[in-house]
Structure 1
Amino acid sequence: MISMIKSKPPNRTASRALKKLIIVSNKSQRRSFNEARSTKDFISSESSKVEDWWASKRFENITRSYSARDVVKHRGSLPANTSIYPSSHQAQKLFNFLEENFKSGTPLHTLGVIDPVQMSQLARCENIKVAYISGWACSSTLVGSTNEVSPDFGDYPYDTVPNQVERIFKAQQLHDRKAFLEASIKGSIPVDYLTPIIADADMGHGGPTTVMKVAKLFAEKGAAGIHLEDQMVGGKRCGHLSGAVLVPTATHLMRLISTRFQWDIMGTENLAIARTDSCNGKLLSSSSDPRDHEFIKGIIGKNVVPWSEKLIEMENMKISNSVISDMEQEWYHKNELFTFEEALAKQFTAGEFATYKEKKEDLMVNKLGRAYLSLREMQLLAHEVTPSKNIIFDWDAPRTKEGYYMFKGCIEAAIRRSLVFAPYSDMIWLETKTPDLEQARSFSSEIHKKFPATKLVYNLSPSFNWSAHGFDDKALKSFIWDLAKEGFTLQLVSLAGLHSDGVSFWELANAFQNDGMKAYVEKVQRREKESNCDILTHQHWSGAEYVDSLMKVVQNGASSQTLSTSGEGFTETQF
């Protein structure tokens, strides 16, 4: 017998709840779909704007390894124009100056400043249109978050130079407001205190994300442009010190790409300068990039114990540092260093080496289409020329304790690297050992063969003993303008502010200790009057009258008794 089970009547409350759940779910799905569609449309729209921006004259010579979509996806939901950075306006100004001077073959030359006083005096010079802030000067004259000053080894906190940029830029803005107010009252033309700032970003202080943070700081703080050098974090030195360690070409290229990517995300037009220290560099951190292989040096001796192994042995034996130093000199004297091709020339006949060079040129130009061969490729080519010879070349044996390779710094290395960096940067900086116009001319010629619009940078370094390099007064005066004709548009005396500050204050202090106020009046106040230096009336220079004007506005024309530049207490009326 089949029993019949009577079903229960439907639960109307549960049914209504289920229906409501289905409706809410459908609405949620529609909203999610619409939001997804909205996000997609937003990315598409903003990407088009970025592409249009990149198509402008500002970026016509800039290469990027990423897409506009990559930029927009990393910006977040706020359109770029909601965050307007003053440094981008300054960058446009700098770009226009560079374009104008590059076309006319004239220099955009400047001096490194270390404080707002020097900045304000620089701005009053009609033919100096930009300011420079040196990492060396910041390292040696400022106190960062560690309250330390030190030589330029790039070991200070990475916000040290950006903070100095902020200090100078804020001072520029104050003096600009002061000058504009005065001009509006007098009906005159104000001094342009807003000279674009170019700042030293050292080697970027880390990997790609650190480089991006540093670039972001500079853009936020007011720098129109920055330069990055191809030295290693931790192995960085001033370009005129020994012991600097270069990074592989690809590593520095990554820094330039990271910098541009950060600024594209921010929507700014700041300028990136690629500096190479490879003309002077003697050490390389890694052999990972085949573009560097031609300049890495090794030995040609058989069964040589590597220097690093000998060093560890001596350290374990507690041998004194002085003996180790002597042994190091002896090891490198005994084991002469050569690049692979120099080693090849030693072990090939003249005819074999000539054949190798011909085959190498043919391989690079007609088959590979590039300007370099890796060590492996050079060794294979050498074997092809003379299969019976076993070419000896060991670039590991002379490596330092830290693992650095020996590098042949030369102008050819600097040219090779700069040709790689040029498409990804706004300018190329050649760091040199000496002020050499012919060297600069040869560098410029090679760069401009491939990139005729690339603007170059030259450090008119106070580390050079200019008088010892054969310059007479005429040649010294024309050097900057001669360089500009070769495309070295931006030129700077990086530490001019430091040296001028030192010598002027030393002269004053040295005289003041014996001559008292006579020394001060002769060396400072009288010279301020004669040269029309506006620091003479330092209250006016500082903006006291500008602040008084602000007080008049907010206090509805307050009594002169409350103003700082009125009444008998204002001593600058004596001038």
Structure 2
Amino acid sequence: MSLKKVNGISNSVGVMFNHMKRKKHTLSTFPYPTKNDEQEYYDSQVNDIERWWNSERFKGIERLYTAHEVVKHKGTLPISYPSSVQAEKLYSLLRKRFDEKKPVHSLGSIDPVQASQTALNQEVLYVSGWACSSVLTTTNEVSPDFGDYPYDTVPNQVDRLFRAQLFHDKKSWHEWLSLTEEERAKRRSEGHGRVDYLRPIISDADTGHGGTGSVMKLAKLFAERGSAAIHIEDQLHGGKRCGHLAGKVIVPTSTHVSRLVATRLQWDIMNCSNLVIARTDSESATLLSSSIDPADHEFILGTTNENMRPLVEVLSDAKEQGSSSNELLKLEKDWLENNDLFTFDEAVKNSCNSLGKPDLFESYKSRSRGKSNHAARKIAKEVLGQDVFFDWDSPRTTEGYYMVKNGIDVAVKRALAFAPYADLLWVETKSPNVEYARDFAARIHEKFPDKMLVYNLSPSFNWSAHGFTEEDLQNFIWDLARHGFVLQLISLAGLHQNAVGMWELSQNFKEKGMKAYVDLVQKKEKELSCDVLTHQKWSGANYADSLFGIIQTGSQTSSTGADSTEHSF
């Protein structure tokens, strides 16, 4: 299908309403159907959506619903969203860089100033949920990243940044067109063209903040506020932790698939091309909220000791006897240290070894691979000639969570399950390691060779403590990109840079006064040609004066007139 082009970017959204241009009837007057042409409108909508889904944009993406179901739920008034245009821009950029094995990287911004200052060198803008929870929530509370802030917190930050992008785009466009053609040509020859402030926004949607309805409403809110893409992780809503904290609880694989499908459905109803990023925290998560999905069974830990007293009973009895919180924590720690836990496969392997028949395990494994625990137990009995005792309920926590074996195997399995429903895959890792990332990527690309990957260059890592040479650090993002990690981000770079800059200025200002400000701020702004040096102009004073000049005449009321102190720079 031939797609329209907008500034060189394929705009598959535009195909959604092409039927309005093709047909010469009531729809040429009204963009929505009258009672006389509802069926024709319905059929044309279904056809357009199916062509849209078959475009290059959605190659490899599966949907668990039909175009008919989307049309039934989308209403009749055509509505378009700027975030979808930005999504097309983002998708084209990511695919190009993925094919080139080069990275697209972002320094997470926490305010419009940082967003504008990264626009010259960073091609996308990232909005972190961690940063929002610690800096700006809709209740003005600050807290750690437990995903328990109001669900509109990150969308509101996106709205704030997207509006700033729109303003700076208008301002830079006005400034560029105010130059003569000769001046523009000179700037281009010097490599100083107009800055593109409309960098696609990628946002942190945490766990989706609830059930299916909440996920869909959140996806809708992000699209309305200007986010071109969101990432959703497979942690439990209500038990969410930052990816680099302990105590993470993951949901069943099928539950997270439902989140991804719900997000895509919401955007299909809105005619949006926005990107879905599926993140898994299972590489380091130790708990699972439910055993309902057979896909998770092979990683659930249990005991082979028939006499083991359940952990919950031990803690419950101690609590009734008046044990303190610290005593309960010690009891739990002692219980875990004194009781070995295994996956069912490990339990079967141990039984084979104890029977002196280790070769039986391969026979069991070849038949049980991918099966539920119920089926695996039957196969184990057939192979060994006896039941293998295994109890995954005794280690459950007081909240009812199951204990699981984490690591790259579970992360790969989950990522592969999410891949058909996501544009990009993200695995949260315990440490920065190119070889580890390469192995993960190879296992994903063996089945999904075109799937784009995401890597979190997290400030939670102590980068100086991992044995990197200077050369290793300098090459890290390019080494990752060669393995398909096209999108890379320092999620909290803006927060840390803000802290370091203000800490240094505050310390020096206390002793050196204005010399500290001039040395640490104004001189650097001049040396770097940072446009915030002339902050009135940066904030749009010239743009506003130009607007006002259309309406009123006279130079005395101009904010950028002769009396403006910025003429001294």
Q: Above 0.5 in TM-score? A: yes
Work out which of the residue numbers 151, 155, 159 in structure 2 matches 1:158: 151
Partner residue, 2:142: 149
Alignment check: 8 A CA contact 1:360 1:381 kept = no
| Equivalent residues, number | 525
Alignment check: 8 A CA contact 1:228 1:273 kept = yes
1:107-118 paired onto structure 2 within 5 Å: 107-118=103-114
Partner residue, 1:444: 441
Shift of 1:448: 0.6
Question: C-alpha separation between the residues in 2 aligned to 1:478 and 1:85?
Answer: 38
Shift of 1:41: 3.0
Partner residue, 2:475: 478
Partner residue, 2:520: 523
Shift of 1:36: 7.5
Q: Deviations over 1:23-64 (max 9, x none)?
A: xxxxxxxxxxx9877433322221011001111111112110
Give the letter for the 1:75 counterpart: K
Work out which of the residue numbers 329, 334, 339 in structure 2 matches 1:335: 339
Shift of 1:363: 5.7
Work out which of the residue numbers 537, 540, 544 in structure 2 matches 1:543: 540
SS class of match (1:224): strand
Question: C-alpha separation between the residues in 1 aligned to 2:308 and 2:265?
Answer: 46
Shift of 1:318: 1.4
Question: C-alpha separation between the residues in 2 aligned to 1:474 and 1:148?
Answer: 41
Cα distance change, pair 184–323 in 1 and its aligned pair in 2 (3 A): same
SS class of match (1:489): strand
Partner residue, 1:377: 375
Partner residue, 1:428: 425
Alignment check: 8 A CA contact 1:133 1:494 kept = yes
Alignment check: 8 A CA contact 2:441 2:483 kept = yes
Alignment check: 8 A CA contact 1:297 1:395 kept = yes
Work out which of the residue numbers 535, 555, 562 in structure 2 matches 1:567: 562
Shift of 1:444: 0.6
Partner residue, 2:12: none
2:89 aligned with 1:85: no
Q: CA RMSD in A?
A: 1.4
Percent of aligned positions that are identical: 54
Give the letter for the 2:362 counterpart: K
Shift of 1:362: 4.8
Shift of 1:157: 0.6
In structure 1, runs of 5+ residues without a counterpart are 1-33, 365-371
Question: C-alpha separation between the residues in 1 aligned to 2:266 and 2:151?
Answer: 16
The structure with the largest alpha-carbon Rg is: 1
Alignment check: 8 A CA contact 1:352 1:385 kept = no
Partner residue, 2:58: 59
In structure 2, runs of 5+ residues without a counterpart are 1-32, 185-192
Larger mean Cα displacement after TM superposition, 456-465 or 372-381:
372-381
Shift of 1:330: 1.1
Partner residue, 2:290: 286
Shift of 1:353: 4.3
Shift of 1:359: 4.1
2:124 aligned with 1:130: yes
Alignment check: 8 A CA contact 2:368 2:379 kept = no
Shift of 1:391: 1.4
Larger mean Cα displacement after TM superposition, 510-519 or 199-208:
510-519
1:348-427 paired onto structure 2 within 5 Å: 348-349=352-353, 352-362=357-367, 364=369, 372-388=370-386, 390-427=387-424
Larger mean Cα displacement after TM superposition, 505-514 or 295-304:
295-304
Question: C-alpha separation between the residues in 2 aligned to 1:437 and 1:237?
Answer: 24
Question: C-alpha separation between the residues in 1 aligned to 2:131 and 2:422?
Answer: 24
Question: C-alpha separation between the residues in 2 aligned to 1:550 and 1:253?
Answer: 50
2:95 aligned with 1:99: yes
Alignment check: 8 A CA contact 1:462 1:495 kept = yes
SS class of match (2:485): coil
Shift of 1:352: 3.8
Q: Deviations over 1:442-475 (max 9, x none)?
A: 1111111111110000000011111111111101
Shift of 1:326: 1.4
Work out which of the residue numbers 203, 208, 219 in structure 2 matches 1:204: 208
Tell me the TM-score normalized by structure 2: 0.90
Q: Deviations over 1:515-572 (max 9, x none)?
A: 11111111111111111111111111111100111101122xx11111111131x110
2:115 aligned with 1:119: yes
Question: C-alpha separation between the residues in 1 aligned to 2:80 and 2:480?
Answer: 36
Shift of 1:243: 0.7
Shift of 1:357: 2.5
Shift of 1:232: 0.4
Larger mean Cα displacement after TM superposition, 56-65 or 297-306:
297-306
Shift of 1:333: 1.1
1:129-278 paired onto structure 2 within 5 Å: 129-144=123-138, 146-186=139-179, 187=181, 188=184, 189-278=193-282
Question: C-alpha separation between the residues in 2 aligned to 1:559 and 1:52?
Answer: 56
SS class of match (2:178): helix
Alignment check: 8 A CA contact 1:87 1:219 kept = yes
2:314 aligned with 1:318: no
1:34-73 paired onto structure 2 within 5 Å: 38-73=37-72
Give the letter for the 1:415 counterpart: V
Question: C-alpha separation between the residues in 1 aligned to 2:254 and 2:446?
Answer: 22
SS class of match (1:110): strand
Partner residue, 1:28: none
Q: Deviations over 1:382-408 (max 9, x none)?
A: 1011113x3121110010000000011
Shift of 1:360: 3.0
